[in-house]
Every structure is written in structure tokens, then in C-alpha cells.
Amino acid sequence: MARVLVTEKIAQRGLDLLTEAGHEVDVREGLSPEKLVAAVPGAAALVIRSATQVTGDVLAAATGLVVVGRAGIGLDNVDVDAATARGVMVVNAPQSNILSAAEQAMALLLAQARNIPQAHAALVAGRWERSRWEGVELHGKTLGIVGLGRIGALVAQRALAFGMRLLAYDPYVSPDRAKHMGVELCSLEELMAESDFVSIHAVKTPETVGLINRELLAKSKPGIRIVNAGRGGIIDEEALVQAIRSGTVQGAGLDVFAKEPTTESPLFELDSVVVSPHLGASTAEAQDKAGVTIAEQVILALAGDFVPYAVNVAATEVSETVRPYMPLAEQLGRFFGCLHEGLPDRLEIEYQGGLAGAATGILTLSVLKGLFASTTEEPVSYVNAPQLAEERGLEVRETSTTTSHDFKNLVTLRSGTHAVSGTLAGAGVRVEPRVVMVDDHDVEVPPSEHMLVVRNDDRPGMIGVVGVALGDEGISISSMAVGPSPETGTALMVLSTDKPASDTVLSRLRQNPGILDIHQVRL
């Protein structure tokens, strides 16, 4: 029997499962940070929702803690790195609300198509306004889905039942998988230009904040209707207001907002806008599933069994040879994804040197975790990353060789179009990651948050072209490596910058005849 500390309200069925498994369930809701630190010693499991902050101090006090369970999707309130360092498993309930969220999106689609909330408000106010609130059918219309993850796929399935044509924008979904779902992949611009309705299900990242902006709305199909039951901030709300007022956009159905909670917005003044206060997961079923799922995961963790929704790996389970390479492998996965600007056709991972004789499975999981990190609605974990690869049709192959001519250890990722290699440089406490090859050009540069990869003609002045363009935008270069290729007559620049390059800078560089290719990398 183990003590399970529960600090927030979860479904009674979940508490009952923990008790039936023979554990002592200690429910203490509303603990202050200080009281949590005092209460957690002796607990083998800590079950939370979104309010409890599981900090490094809490984990340091939690002697004997085996698992932290979050009854929901997000993990912003858990210091996962600190938990991993202490060998504490972190689990969540990533699928608990996907059905509820998909149904909320469909409810907003129908409400937007048929003006149900507006007609209801008019009728209860004593106005019979049949002609004013005439709607449109979903049948035969085109629905554009931005983000074809689990929730987006459920929306697609339900929209097909209404007889809608489906388009989707998701650079991390293979065409074969989309075709199997009855969905046609296209660019975001094409989606906005052809869709009668758009439903947003993209994960919120620095790249997707403001994704639906003024320029994109101006190019959209006249009369388009937009629904967002995913994440607030992906739509530029000010631009949406202007587009609705101008008539470019017919209306919108919004469950999420850039700032929450919000009770005042220019959007609320528009008759063609339907809103709700982030109710996507607010169903009895979703809350029940979250409580039951997290109880099941905690029971498995305490029993030492395989835990499907673990989001980390206990540090004690990884060898000392492999462990330092885990962050590098994840960074290489992210780098690789940025080079492709979507999902590669295949992924070949080669381990060279001393790593070839070690258990590198966790490194492959780290690569996949990095590759998929910004492509799903729930956190990507070492456990669910292989499932995502299978679902999205990504073929993964591993090879290893004990020979590494230039480095003690080397990790290389390849597809049909791009390649990247990395290693660790230095010794002792000064070991640092290095990217040492990109697209078969030898380079050496430390990975950083903002990077640019520029392939250009190998001729004088090209470094200056890039430097001037960045300098004119006030962007500083913190490190840079150049790798020429005598065989192709091209060179590759890999630069680290203090902030991301704007679309204006990228467009300016692409217009230079000496620039052959350019990719922005965010780690």
C-alpha cells in the first residue's frame, strides 16, 4: 500500500480506483505552496490538475515520490526536468478531452452556420426574426482544418458525416494518412482561399501565434466562417474584427481567446460572432475520463508496470554513456523537422563511435520527441512519440557503427532530402552540444534557440548579403559556421541569432539570386 496525495478535485471514480488498488488516498485540496511542501514527504504519488505547482522545491521535499499524475493534458505546472533528474515519473491524461473538444468545434460550426445563439436571444427578447437569421447548410461546403492531430481528425470524421469536402493544413501529416481520412492536404493560403468554414486545431507555439493574421484573412474566400475551439492567440483577434466588419469574413465561433479569462472584446459586439468561455473540455465525461485515466496510470506506475502516458523517463534507467546525448538528440530532431518544414518522407538515424555499443533506444525516442514536439495537441513524450510516427506514416530506421573518423561519438539523421549530424564537444563540466554537419556540408556551431540555415552559391560576398539583411532588421549573429561543397559549387551558412528572422528578412534573402535555399530553425 502506498500513500497517494491528491491536491485537487478529480472524479470520484478515479479516487475509488486508487482505493480499490489498496492505496491510501489522502485528499488535501487548496494547499498553499508552503503547505504542499510540508504535505508531500512520504507520498509515493502526487495527483494534481492545473492549479498545483509541482516545483523543484516540492520535488526536493518529496522523498520517496514515484510518480506525479496530472489529470488533464497540459504540464505547464510541473517541472518535468527536475522530476526526471530525481527519477520521478510524470504522467498525464492526453486523450481525456479530445472527444469533448471535437464536439465543441462541431457545435460552434453548427451554431455559426444556423445563427442559433442569435436567433435564441432575439426570440426570448420578444422578436420573431426568421428572415434576419437565415443560415446555410454544411452539406456540400468546404471545411478547412488547421492542425490534423487527434482532435482535428475527429472533427474531420464528423464533418464527413455532414457531407462536407475536407481540406487540411498540417505539415507534419503525410499525404497517405490524410487521404486515408478523406482529407486533401494543402497550403494554409490555399485552405483559406477555398474553404467556406475553417476550424482551428493547431498547437500553440511561437510559430502559430497570430497564424491567422490580417494578410491571410484578406486572401481568404469571401464569406468564410472561422471556428476556434483549439488554442487562443492563433487568430489575430483585432484582424478578425476588422475582417468581419469589412465583410471579408462572414462570422466566427470562438471558444478560446488570446487572454483568458476575458469578458470584454470588440468581437462580442459583432452579431455574427458566437462565443463561449473555453468549454472544450467542460463535460462530465471529459472530467470523469481524466480522473479515471490518471488513477490507472498512477496504479501502473506504483506497481512498476509499463505506463502508456508517461511523459518522461526516469534518469536512473538510462546509461551514463547515453544520458548526456539525450538533449542533443532531441535538438537534432527539432532541427531536422525545421529543415523539412514538415514531416520528412523517412527518417534514418545512425549512431557512430562509442554510442554504437550502447542502448540507444532512448536516443531514438529523443529524436522523435524533438521532431514531433510542436505537432500535437498534447505533450510529446518518450512513450507516445513512436505511436505518432506510426500514425503519421513515418518510417524510422536505425543503424550503428563503431567507426567514427572525426568524432568520438556522432548522431546523424537523414531523409531523402536533408541530413544533420551532432556530437558533444569538450570534457568534464564543459561538455557542449555541436551541430557538425548539415546537408552534407561540414559545419560546427552550437545549437541555439534561433538559427538560420542558408544554402547559397559559393562565391564572394554572400556572407555579407546575409549579414546586412539581418543587421538592417536589428538581428545580431551570435555564432556562425560556413561549410563549402566543392562538388556542388555551393556553400552552407548556419547562423545563431539573438531573435528570429522576420518574414520580411526571409523574403528579402530569398529574392537574392545567390541564395538557393533558406530555413529558419527554432530549438
pLDDT confidence band for 314 (50 / 70 / 90):
low
Domain extent at residue 156:
98-275
Do the domain assignments include residue 281?
Answer: no
Average confidence score pLDDT of the chain: 91
- Of all residues in the chain, what percent carry a pLDDT higher than 90? 71
Is there a single domain that holds both residue 250 and residue 239?
yes
Are the beta carbons of 49 and 73 closer than 8 angstroms?
no
Domain boundary residue, one of 317, 334, 368 = 317
pLDDT confidence band for 29 (50 / 70 / 90):
very high
Please pick, among 86, 278, 323, 522, the residue that the annotation labels catalytic: 278
Do the domain assignments include residue 456?
Answer: yes
Is there a single domain that holds both residue 441 and residue 329?
yes
Do the domain assignments include residue 28?
Answer: yes
Is there a single domain that holds both residue 268 and residue 298?
no
Structure confidence at residue 267 (pLDDT): 97
Structure confidence at residue 308 (pLDDT): 81
Is there a single domain that holds both residue 483 and residue 411?
yes
Please pick, among 231, 392, 414, 418, the residue that the annotation labels catalytic: 231
Do the domain assignments include residue 475?
Answer: yes
Provide the 10 A C-beta neighbour count for residue 250: 19
Please pick, among 20, 260, 390, 432, the residue that the annotation labels catalytic: 260
Is there a single domain that holds both residue 86 and residue 102?
no
Is there a single domain that holds both residue 385 and residue 415?
yes
Of the spans 194-203, 315-324, 498-507, which averages the highest pLDDT? 194-203
Strand partners, 200: 146, 228
pLDDT beyond 90 at 445: yes
Is there a single domain that holds both residue 330 and residue 303?
no
Do the domain assignments include residue 63?
Answer: yes
Structure confidence at residue 376 (pLDDT): 58
Look at residues 100, 101, 78, 98 and name the one whose alpha carbon lies nearest to residue 90. Answer: 78
What is the spatial distance between Cα 265 and Cα 74, in angstroms, rounded to a whole number? 26
Do the domain assignments include residue 68?
Answer: yes
Grid coordinates standing for 246? 469589412
Is there a single domain that holds both residue 388 and residue 496?
yes
pLDDT beyond 90 at 254: yes
Structure confidence at residue 78 (pLDDT): 93
What is the spatial distance between Cα 286 and Cα 298, in angstroms, rounded to a whole number? 18
Structure confidence at residue 429 (pLDDT): 62
CATH number at residue 330: 3.30.1330.90
Is there a single domain that holds both residue 444 and residue 499?
yes
Is there a single domain that holds both residue 347 and residue 203?
no
Q: In this structure, what is the dihedral angle of CA atoms 229, 232, 233, 238, given to the nearest 10 degrees?
A: 80
- Of all residues in the chain, what percent carry a pLDDT higher than 70? 97
Is there a single domain that holds both residue 331 and residue 476?
yes
Look at residues 515, 136, 188 and name the one whose alpha carbon lies nearest to residue 342. Answer: 188
Do the domain assignments include residue 505?
Answer: yes
The pLDDT tens digits for 349-391 are 999 988 887 888 889 988 998 998 765 555 577 767 787 888 7
CATH number at residue 294: 3.40.50.720
Are the beta carbons of 334 and 297 closer than 8 angstroms?
no
**323 part of the active site:** no
pLDDT beyond 80 at 23: yes
The pLDDT tens digits for 171-213 are 888 888 899 999 999 999 999 999 999 999 998 888 889 999 9
70: phi then psi, degrees, rounded to nearest 5: -105, 115
**269 part of the active site:** no
Predicted TM-score of the model (pTM): 0.72
What's the sign of the alpha-carbon dihedral 206, 209, 211, 215? negative
The pLDDT tens digits for 30-66 are 999 999 999 999 999 999 998 899 999 999 999 889 9
Do the domain assignments include residue 414?
Answer: yes
Range name among 183-187, 271-275, 393-397, 401-405 with the lowest pLDDT average: 401-405
User: Helix, strand or coil for residue 359?
Assistant: coil
Structure confidence at residue 32 (pLDDT): 95
pLDDT confidence band for 443 (50 / 70 / 90):
very high
The pLDDT tens digits for 73-125 are 878 789 988 888 788 999 999 889 999 999 999 999 999 999 999 999 999 99
Q: Mean pLDDT over residues 442-451, rounded?
A: 93
Residues contacting residue 166 through CB under 8 Å, at least 6 positions apart: 142, 143, 145, 156, 159, 160, 181, 182, 183, 184
What's the sign of the alpha-carbon dihedral 294, 296, 298, 300? negative
**522 part of the active site:** no
Q: In this structure, what is the dihedral angle of CA atoms 272, 278, 279, 285, given to the nearest 10 degrees?
A: 150
Is there a single domain that holds both residue 121 and residue 35?
no
Look at residues 105, 117, 46 and name the one whose alpha carbon lies nearest to residue 302. Answer: 46
pLDDT beyond 90 at 138: yes
Interaxial angle between packed helices 326-340 and 361-372, expressed in degrees from 0 to 180 and rounded to the nearest 10 = 40
Domain count, the chain: 3
The pLDDT tens digits for 414-430 are 998 999 999 998 766 67
